Amino acid sequence: MGYVASARERARENFGRAGEFLSEMRRKIHREGGWTDLEKQPIVSLRDIAVSFDGETVLKDFNLGIGDGAFVTLLGPSGCGKTTTLRIIGGFVRPDAGDVFFNGKKITGLPPHKREVNTIFQKYALFPHLNVYDNVAFGMRVHGKSEREVKAKVGEMLGMVNLKGFEHRNVNLLSGGQQQRVAIARALANEPKVLLLDEPLGALDLKLRKDMQVELKKIQQQTGITFLFVTHDQEEALSMSDEVVVMDKGAIQQIGTPPDIYNEPKNAFVADFIGESNILDGVMREDFLVEFAGRKFRCVDRDFRRDEPVDVVIRPEDVDIVPPDGEHLAGVVRNVTFKGVFYEIIVDVQGFKWMVQTTEFERAGAEIGLSVRPDEIHVMHKSKYSGTFGDYSTFSDEMDEDSRPAGGEAR
Ligand SMILES: Nc1ncnc2c1ncn2[C@@H]1O[C@H](COP(=O)(O)OP(=O)(O)OP(=O)(O)O)[C@@H](O)[C@H]1O
Ligand SMILES: [Mg+2]
């Protein structure tokens, strides 16, 4: 009995250690860029890919592995190379350098129809002269499936996307959301191993978009098909994905789970692109001690060089407002916007404008103190993005940009 118990104990201990090792490996690989999910074998990998169009580099030194069965999202501003990445995997673009692997086999030169990959585009590209049933059946018929098989599969797929009873409808008369469901059913009916989705919800209004996000996620979980999803909407990426690949200017900036990306941004670009961030110039004095805004703060970061110049990220929701007591950072409220659940205020601290989200009302002109807990201070190495983002001085300009239709450059 005692022996069994201690063996079990030992096994548990070893198991725990293996788990820790695996998590540490994952964290390390995430930090250094590379695979999306180490626990899942990559089904698709891109190695050392480079692409340029008309002499202009679109992707460079691009390395990415997509975990089998994962929901992975490419997120980045317009023109960063998301669609190009999908087109390389789909076989529609041949890279100038590098290779594409599918389950470990090189498929770089394989034509699109021989890849076990299907694509759903933002514009649904349904066949306008075919009804719903025939659209979904199309691929199976091309592959010579019997009408009995086709009928069963079309029924199953239309059930999955909630379009039972729509078989004989004219696709041109369906709503945008319904057309997109047909496109999803049509792609899934071919039983691809990987589904590439290029901003598939971009044309839908917000309410429908949210519903479809939930449905798509459910379909991915039910079918176990690997989804590679493209969006420039960070909220969509965070809420749907197992892993997010943040891109800018043809290069991967960070790969990680949504909480990793939000809580541990790797550089000022990621911190700025995902949510709101105050990004301050700082100096890492020693392990767990960082200086910014003229003061020293305890933090939880370590392993920086002594006196290394750094970027310090503080999220607006992590700043507490305290009385101006001379002990805390002091600032003056410049602007207050009611956001429903909280107030968003802009606070001038020695000329640097912080964004703070608070449930307490503060009036413009009020002098306040700002307090931040050590674990809410996130220290990053300097990067080429340092100094570009993170001060809310030009906030009114940014609000104008935010209210523009989707598809524009990130600020
Ligand atoms: N066939 C092509 N010929 C020339 N330039 C191209 C071609 N395809 C893409 N590009 C350029 O490559 C860059 C990346 O384009 P891509 O479509 O991959 O961006 P994206 O991240 O999908 O952007 P968006 O969010 O606007 O869809 C852009 O500058 C684009 O103009
Ligand atoms: Mg695109």
pLDDT digits (tens, 9 = 90+) for 106-163: 999 999 989 999 998 877 689 999 999 999 999 999 999 999 999 999 999 999 888 9
What pLDDT is stored for residue 15 in this prediction?
Answer: 47
Contact between 72 and 66 under an 8 Å Cβ cutoff? The reply is: yes
Q: Give 262 Cα–ligand 2 centroid separation in angstroms.
A: 23
A 10 A CB-CB count for 187 gives 23
Contact between 51 and 84 under an 8 Å Cβ cutoff? The reply is: yes
Dmax (CA) for the chain in angstroms is 79
Matching residue, tokens 């770089």: 108
Domains of the chain: 31-260 (3.40.50.300), 276-402 (2.40.50.140)
- Phi first, then psi, for residue 365 (nearest 5°) are 100, -15
What is the pLDDT averaged over residues 205-229? 91
Tens of pLDDT, residue by residue over 24-53, are: 555 444 444 455 544 567 999 999 999 999
- Whether the pLDDT of residue 393 is over 90: the answer is no
For ligand 1, residues with CB inside 6 Å are 53-54, 58, 76, 78-84, 232
197 pLDDT band, cuts 50/70/90, is very high
Tens of pLDDT, residue by residue over 152-194, are: 999 999 998 889 999 999 999 998 889 989 999 999 999 999 9
Range in 325-334, 366-375, 390-399 with the lowest mean pLDDT: 390-399
- Whether the pLDDT of residue 71 is over 90: the answer is yes
The whole-angstrom separation of Cα 271 and Cα 238 is 13
**Which ligand approaches the C-alpha of residue 249 most closely?**
1
Matching residue, tokens 């004219």: 170
Ligand 1 atom closest to the CA of 81, numbered from 1? 18
> Which of 46, 60, 83, 231 gets mutated to test ligand 1 (max ligand atoms within 8 A of its CB)?
83
